[in-house]
Structure 1
Amino acid sequence: MTRNLVVRSVLPIAVIGLVLTGCTTKTPGGATPTSGAATSTTETSDGGTTTSEPSGGGDLAAFDACKELNEVASKLSLSRIQKDVGTACQARFGQTTTIVTVKAFPQLGIADLSAGPKAQPSDIPVGAHKAKRVKTPLTDTDCVVSVEITAKSRVDFVAASTTSPDEACDAATQVATAVEPKLPK
């Protein structure tokens, strides 16, 4: 029983931390905005100007994964909702052994999603958003539904099951579908 709890706690962290962050390279020099992230200048009534920086990630800075999981908890029979690493939040899905973790990636799009050699990706719609479902991205019993916010931002719904990847994909898809109306458009 203790081993199951450890596996259920560590596996979603490993999936999120190792598989789903994507690869990046560092280039020396100053940071510059990515395409589509231009600043805007507005003229004020007194003749001055104001400059606004892009919020990035389709307003994912305001996205609170735990708040959203709590709002759909009764509908999906979620329990044990708790903050996870960084801004991630996790919950137990129904009366299963599946744990679902939700995490926003304001600087990585679904094209940046990477997975292991056994991964089975497919494009799916989740409400009004494009998404990618990856069955077995890291282990034989996990699944991720990655919902696109912009070309360079996403929210991942990672499910880790102790029984099957189908159970994990069902849980990840149900949670993603329930939370999707609250995601930035």
Structure 2
Amino acid sequence: MNATDTRERILGRMFQDIHKNGFQGLRADRVIADLGITKGALYHYFPSKDAIGLAVIDELIEPSYLQFFRGLEDVDEHPIDLLQKHLQWLANKATPDEIHLGCPLNNLVQEMSPINESFRLRLKVVMDGMINYTTKALERGIRNGQVKADADCAAVAGFMVAGMEGAYGVAKVLMSVVSFHRNIQQLVNYLESFRA
């Protein structure tokens, strides 16, 4: 196995452990034992525990969370349709296990933003990206006559992202997929109110 594969395996398993136990509950020694590698191999790729967490954000969370939102720039489809489809996709793929563990992004935001500025800034990049790409898509919708001209696109985008992440948090504490579906549907309805 080459170095890239080893690094990716380590990062993937660290992400799983962080998602399950939180960053502060990350047990790198347990993960490396499960992978059958040495502590020296781990520190060859990641010199500190913080480096692991920041790499998880930069290399796994940011790309996966922003993939859809970046894609909003490259399509001409109605922005409200696209956003509603994405929300419905999130609701449809939600499983009890996923709801139990919560949203990886939201979990880290809640856990690490108050105590680690490097984490907060990296997580802010992801949140800002979700909001900014949504804002631009809605602004394009206004120009194309698809979105109400008086819509405050930045406020709508910010509320949608806050509602989406909040839906994960509420569903997690209630351990309820039904709650997640219900709250996501309210966001779908909210977006519909801005259709021109």
| TM band (smaller chain) | under 0.3
- Structure with greater proportional helix content: 2
Higher strand share: 1
Higher relative contact order (CA 8 A, sep 6+): 2
- Structure 2 length normalisation: TM-score? 0.26
